[in-house]
């Protein structure tokens, strides 16, 4: 139970931030926690097998075994649910921040191209002006 409580506290502290770099660090920490959880899945599986064996041996009260096993599986499932929820939250925050970055870069690109186009207004209609216009607008492609 102490391990579960410790991991639940850790998960509650993993709050997505505003910056993409913070989210990448958070994802890394979360991946480490997720790996640790996967490593402990075998322990839960072993405990369930042992509970089944103990029930069959009829040496220990099956009610105690059932209660303990049920609590273990409830705790494990709650922890897994918390991890899945936090993963979704972190992934959503990361995608949102990536979206904001992409939008910002695209808006900057549009502004640059608008400035370039607007700068052609002062070019003349003579051959020199048309050639300058072609060079400037050639960079839009």
What is the C-alpha R_g of the chain?
30
What pLDDT score does 74 carry?
93
Q: How confident is the model over 70-94, as pLDDT tens digits?
A: 999 998 998 888 888 888 888 888 8
- CA 96 – CA 3 distance, rounded (Å): 32
Least confident of 35-49, 88-102, 104-118, 119-133: 119-133
Contact 4, 79 (CB under 8 A): yes
What pLDDT score does 29 carry?
81
For 122, the enclosing helix (H) or strand (E) is: none
Exposed e or buried b per residue across 47-71, where buried means at least 16 C-beta atoms within 10 angstroms of its C-beta? eeeebeebbeeeeeeeeebeeebee
Q: Is the pLDDT of residue 27 over 70?
A: yes
Residue predicted with more confidence, 127 or 23: 23
């Amino acid at each position: 139970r102490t391990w579960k409580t410790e991991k639940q506290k850790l998960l509650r502290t993993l709050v997505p931030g505003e910056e993409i770099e913070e989210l990448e660090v958070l994802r890394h920490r979360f991946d480490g926690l997720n790996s640790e959880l996967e490593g402990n899945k075998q322990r839960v599986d072993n405990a369930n097998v042992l509970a089944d064996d103990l029930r069959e041996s009829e040496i220990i009260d099956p009610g105690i075994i059932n209660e303990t096993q049920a609590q273990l599986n409830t705790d494990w499932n709650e922890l897994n649910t918390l991890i899945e929820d936090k993963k979704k939250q972190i992934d959503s925050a990361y995608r949102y921040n990536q979206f904001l970055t992409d939008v910002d870069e695209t808006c900057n690109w549009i502004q640059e191209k608008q400035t370039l186009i607007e700068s052609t207004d002062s070019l003349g209609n003579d051959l020199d002006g048309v050639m300058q216009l072609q060079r400037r607008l050639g960079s839009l492609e």
